[in-house]
């Protein structure tokens, strides 16, 4: 019998769903779909991969933020 991870953290639920591990929410409904993320520069809008560790754009120096993208299949 596999254990069930109990978490209300949507990011953790997203990873667990991708990995095929069972989870249960306590105070929230939980996620409905798996989502992806991309990083975008606030200044020049350059797109970076979600695993890029930069916090400032290499082109213009503006902060980089994380944005949710359409659900992954």
User: With 0-12 CB in 10 A as exposed, 13-18 as middle and 19+ as buried, what is 13?
Assistant: buried
Task: Give the Cβ contact number of residue 12 at 10 Å.
Answer: 14
Is the pLDDT at 70 greater than 80? The verdict is no
Is the pLDDT at 73 greater than 90? The verdict is no
**pLDDT at 72 (0 to 100):** 57
C-alpha span between 13 and 34 (Å, rounded): 9
Rounded to two decimals, the pTM is: 0.63
More confident residue, 54 or 1: 54
pLDDT category of residue 71 using cuts at 50, 70 and 90: low
What is the tens place of the pLDDT at every residue in 10-53?
A: 989 999 998 999 999 999 999 888 888 899 999 999 999 989 99
């Amino acid at each position: 019998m596999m254990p069930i991870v109990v978490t209300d953290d949507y990011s953790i639920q997203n990873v667990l769903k991708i990995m095929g591990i069972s989870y249960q929410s306590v105070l929230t409904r939980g996620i409905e779909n798996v989502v992806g993320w991309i990083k975008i520069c606030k200044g020049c809008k350059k797109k970076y991969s979600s695993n890029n560790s930069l916090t400032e754009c290499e082109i213009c120096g503006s902060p980089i933020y994380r944005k949710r993208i359409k659900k992954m299949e």
